Structure 1
Amino acid sequence: MNFNVDNAFALGTYEGSSTRTANKFIVLHETTNIGAKANASYFKNNWSTTQTYVQYVIGDGGKIYQVGADGYQAWGAGSYANANSPVQIELARTTDKATFKKDYATFVNFARSKAREFGIPTTLDAYGNGIKTHKWISDNIWGSHTDPVNSYLEPFWGITHEQLAKDILSGISEPVAPKKTFTNINNVVTVLNGNVKAYATYKKDGSANGTTNIGPGTGWISAGIEMINGKPHYLIGGNIYIPQSITTFNDRVAINSDIPVHAVDHTGKVVNIDLVGGSAWKFGSMSNIPGAGWCYQIATDMFLPIEYAQGSGFKG
């Protein structure tokens, strides 16, 4: 089976570990947040400060992004597992059923392909060498992680450990239909009931739309959020933006996902706290965080990427 691997975020010369591995394990992870490209970019740009990266990140509809080099230690599962795993693979989250089917099939088949390449058995979490979940590494060697099955595959898509083991052993010829689905993402924003006849709207360049005003209390479907004049604005039409400050989200942000997402700190490092889909958070300032883009500050050192906010147009 042939795979198209995107090398845009591959570590360069003198980046990452130069230590070769033994060929015992292929380690399977999940990213805990949404989007493979964003995760690969984060690994590429932060490997030296976080001491964390893997060889591959899979997601975004079955795409494969390479970060580390095959056969050299990645930093994803503790020193012993890192030293004995020529390949470690992250599966990025999604809320979209069709995207997940492609991601999961690629995740399974690519892991099988890499195992055969390095002479590793295509058994999951069995005795001896083989393909291992990060949870197996934690249970048997070191750590406290439960990915990818307990943290993502089973609770969000109904893929049990037994199903993953079966798929790892046999491969997937047709994408697997997940047993769970999610409700529609909500991108409706509502204008405040202010003591005005109408509110002004703006263009992307920051100038006012003199002929397009909107009434108090009206609801709009937003296709995205842009930073205009240093403030977040919702896109409600062709080059028509309304400030978040005139909506019911003027002082808070709602998470636009049925899957829990993770915030980042001021360096762009993922904060390992589940933020429940649909929950609302008070926010202060906006910050442009490396690797995460514009974010809402929802705690002292916790920032929510703008793409996870209601009104972002986000669909998983």
Structure 2
Amino acid sequence: MFNPNIINKTYTLGDYQGDTRLASNRFIILHESGNDNDKRDSQALLHEVQYMHNNYGSAYVQFFVGYMDGKAQVYQIGEPGYVSWGALTANPYAPVQIEFARTGDKQQFREAYRLYVEVARYYANAYGIPLTLDSGGNGIKTHQWVTNNFGGDHVDPYPYFAGMGITKSQLAYDLANGFDDEPEPEKKATINNVVTVTADYFKAFTTTNSKGVPHIGTDILSGTAWQSADILVRDKKAYFKIGNDTYIPQSVTDKAGKIVINYLDGYGVNAYNSKGQSIKDSNQVFKGGTSWATGEELFKVPNVGWCYQVSTDEYIPVKFQQGSGFKG
């Protein structure tokens, strides 16, 4: 499982560098450098990152992955969530694009490749993007797919990866499933979609009436716990889905007045400002399992959707609330 704390941010672009547009959360785009000289350069990753940082006006991506100094590493260049310049007219649809620095050593490649896949999976989950490869609709896309659908002439990363023993089908499988030695208990540590009723007595609600008319015969007792599969927003308030067309308001549960981050232990989620811009390094604060006070009213943030307000200008999407059905 990828830990974002390992990201090297030495060459991250400054506040007035790069694109200021917020990207649509549709694609994670995968690249590789295409530079065969990297195979003969033990510091290829660093040199690729330095070049991209110094020439960002021509092209840059959010992350560069490779093998250097005895281990697989990842550098950040662009800010996740914003448009970067690595895939022509597909750029506005990708909150994250990832490059790979070539190596000629297959063992080094395997270690860097694993990290590359973990980074892609982590950010796909963070932005609600499906873990599918080069298929229809939203998902993880290669530069080859961008060429086929948006134009250009790049075919990466397939030819180089194939030469190192990774086929398209293997890449698709790894992106969808991760790696077998990921400890399953740790992966599920704080993923929790159970809500507990705290009100003395009330009726559950159903979506058959947009006004929230009580669903006859579904009285819910205080102290009972329910698995919630989704959050419905009605009149700017949250309702947990506890059954087929049956909802209970957040205000009568143990989540009243707060958001409890539904994510993996040690990992965090991005907060956004009222303009829909991702707040830098906020995922270092809003970690899985942490609880944050919030009002009963939800806010619809541009390009993000319904969110909880956790400070004057910090908003967290409802999908990251325990009880949202989100599974990481």
Category of TM-score, reference length = shorter chain: 0.5 to 0.7
Displacement after TM superposition at 1:119 (Å): 9.4
Residue identity opposite 1:50 in structure 2: T
Gaps of 5+ in 1: 1-29, 33-47, 63-76, 124-165
Residue by residue over 1:178-210, the C-alpha shift from the partner in whole angstroms, topping out at 9 and shown as x without a partner, is 243511621000011x4x3x2211122221113
Displacement after TM superposition at 1:78 (Å): 5.7
Q: Is contact 1:191-1:216 (8 Å) kept? A: yes
Q: Is contact 1:109-1:171 (8 Å) kept? A: no
Residue identity opposite 2:206 in structure 1: K
Residue of 180, 183, 188 corresponding to 2:182: 180
TM-score, normalised to structure 1's length?
Answer: 0.53
Name the structure 1 match of 2:20: 50
Name the structure 2 match of 1:271: 279
User: Is 1:262 paired with 2:270?
Assistant: yes
SS at match of 1:245: helix
Q: Are residues 118 and 222 of structure 1, via their aligned partners in 2, closer, same or farther at CA, if it must alter by over 3 Å?
A: closer
SS at match of 1:87: coil
SS at match of 2:56: helix
Map 1:34-73; keep pairs closer than 5 Å. Answer: 50-51=20-21, 57-58=27-28
Map 1:136-151; keep pairs closer than 5 Å. Answer: none
Residue of 288, 306, 312 corresponding to 1:294: 306
Name the structure 1 match of 2:55: 80
Residue identity opposite 2:182 in structure 1: K
Runs (4+) off by over 2 Å = 48-54, 56-59, 84-95, 99-103, 106-114, 116-123, 166-172, 175-181
TM-align CA RMSD: 3.9
Name the structure 1 match of 2:293: 282
Displacement after TM superposition at 1:82 (Å): 3.6
Q: Is contact 2:268-2:287 (8 Å) kept? A: yes
> Counterparts of 2:21 and 2:228 in 1: how far apart (Å)?
38
SS at match of 1:269: coil
> Counterparts of 2:256 and 2:276 in 1: how far apart (Å)?
25
SS at match of 2:242: strand
Q: Is contact 1:108-1:171 (8 Å) kept? A: no
Name the structure 2 match of 1:191: 197
> Counterparts of 1:210 and 1:122 in 2: how far apart (Å)?
57
Q: Is contact 2:144-2:154 (8 Å) kept? A: no
SS at match of 1:270: coil
Name the structure 2 match of 1:170: 164
Name the structure 2 match of 1:202: 205
Q: Is contact 2:22-2:277 (8 Å) kept? A: no
Map 1:206-225; keep pairs closer than 5 Å. Answer: 206-225=212-231
Displacement after TM superposition at 1:265 (Å): 0.7
Q: Is contact 1:281-1:298 (8 Å) kept? A: yes
Residue of 298, 303, 307 corresponding to 2:315: 303
Residue by residue over 1:20-40, the C-alpha shift from the partner in whole angstroms, topping out at 9 and shown as x without a partner, is xxxxxxxxxx9x8xxxxxxxx
Gaps of 5+ in 2: 5-17, 31-51, 61-84, 88-96, 99-119
Name the structure 2 match of 1:247: 253
Percent identical residues: 28
> Counterparts of 1:240 and 1:298 in 2: how far apart (Å)?
27
TM-score, normalised to structure 2's length?
Answer: 0.52
Q: Is contact 1:233-1:243 (8 Å) kept? A: yes
Residue by residue over 1:81-119, the C-alpha shift from the partner in whole angstroms, topping out at 9 and shown as x without a partner, is 241467353543328xxx75859xx969647997x9459
Q: Are residues 298 and 122 of structure 1, via their aligned partners in 2, closer, same or farther at CA, if it must alter by over 3 Å?
A: same
Residue identity opposite 2:218 in structure 1: T
Residue identity opposite 1:270 in structure 2: S
Q: Is contact 1:223-1:313 (8 Å) kept? A: yes
